[in-house]
Amino acid sequence: MKFFFKKSLDISEETKKLSSYIKQCKQIIDQNDYSSPESSLCLPSDVHILSQIDAMVAKKKTAKLKYVITIGIGGSNLGAKAIYDALYGSVDMFTPDRYPKMIFLDTIDPKINTAFLTFFKSHVKSADEFAISIISKSGTNTEPVVNAEVLLGYIKNRFSKWKQRCVITTDANSPMWNEGARLGIDVLNIPKQVGGRYSVFSAVGLFPLAMANIDIRSLLQGAKKMRDICVNESPQNYSFTSSVFQYQNWKKGRSIHNNFYFQPEFESLGKWYRQLMGESIGKEKKGITPIVSIGSVDHHSMVQLYWGGSQDKTTEIIYAKKSQDCFVPQEALFPTLSNTKGKNTSEIVSAIRKGTALAYKKQMEPFFEIEFDEINTYEMGGYMQCKMLEIMYLAKLLGVNAFDQPQVELYKIETKKILAK
């Protein structure tokens, strides 16, 4: 993974400001006792948690596994979905015979619930063909409870060993933890201090991903490598550099951050980042609004605004250097239109991306670039760890608490009143 920042970016002032916090993050990793809100930093090297997950996967994995169903919302599913979609999900429609597939049930939607249940009834023949991961940090959220009740309400009447196909992932001793224990459903623990949006490298992300045959060791290795670089005062600490980039531009009135991904496969990764940034720093009337753009879809939708509209954005161009080969035929059907015949389509995408970076430069719009070597678990792990640390540093620079979300309660109170009627 490579990062390209403008050489003139001066990080000296912020380095002074955050020097002790960077050290503190390093200490938290060394202590490894999950006593502070930054404890998610311990996860990439936590062999104890990994062995718990390995054991659970060994217990649940079957040769016939077709569907890994994840019931969870927000921090409980965005991380695993980001990784799955980047690797497989974006082409699931076109690879109907590739298994296991991950299916994510997040919000409640009668149409999707009904369609999924109908699909499940006709496509699943035995209990070995599915595994269900029910995830809720607090163990009380409405959406996963409703989705679990609807799905399990059917499954328990059809498959005698249904409980063996389920795993609940939640905080120790949460209401859902207790229900799991009562019912005899296996439970995995989320360390108390690890918040939902920082939990992708805990059982929350790792268990369902491993069930879907995704290489979680390589994911963790990528995260660990990046983490160990990014808790030091070093020019390679790109978590810190990008937090400074954001912070300096925010002070100049740029309050929107655009993640411009040049692979549609990354769209869910952008959604993971939205929560990470939105919930972590959107408070005390501060905050930066994260948006997600896809090259070249948004060239035909949003770039007019980005280059012609109000100058309120920073941009991060994210792309993978290597990708599959796919060639435009040599013999063109539309010869007067084709300046691309015989070309590898990845070259064309790359030309659009380079043209985009030049346009940003000419418009004097602040941006930087992140290059994945290719889309794989190692690079995904590194990117996600880099971003989680970036947000911790950025919150510190902004003077807000990166780990709470007080305003989320606002609608819950009103909703509960309405449901109780």
User: How many other CB atoms are found less than 10 A from the CB of residue 295?
Assistant: 20
Residue closer to a second copy, measured from CB, 15 or 296: 296
Residue closer to a second copy, measured from CB, 146 or 229: 146
Angle subtended at Cα 199 by Cα 183 and Cα 110, rounded to the nearest 5 degrees: 60
374's tokens: 């290719």
Give the residue among 341, 340, 346 at the shortest CA–CA distance from 326: 346
Residue closer to a second copy, measured from CB, 29 or 152: 152
What is the end-to-end Cα distance of the chain in Å, rounded? 53
Residue closer to a second copy, measured from CB, 247 or 306: 306
Nearest approach, Cβ of 291 to a second copy (angstroms)? 6
Residue closer to a second copy, measured from CB, 153 or 235: 153
Residue closer to a second copy, measured from CB, 158 or 286: 286
Nearest approach, Cβ of 23 to a second copy (angstroms)? 28
Backbone angles phi, psi at 105, to 5 degrees: -105, 110
- Active site residue ranges: 279, 300, 416
Nearest approach, Cβ of 126 to a second copy (angstroms)? 19
Nearest approach, Cβ of 103 to a second copy (angstroms)? 8
Nearest approach, Cβ of 334 to a second copy (angstroms)? 4
Nearest approach, Cβ of 228 to a second copy (angstroms)? 29
Residue closer to a second copy, measured from CB, 19 or 95: 95
Cα–Cα distances in angstroms (integers) from residue 85 to residues 136, 198, 264, 380, in the given order = 21, 19, 10, 11
Nearest approach, Cβ of 166 to a second copy (angstroms)? 10
Strands 289-294 and 256-261: parallel
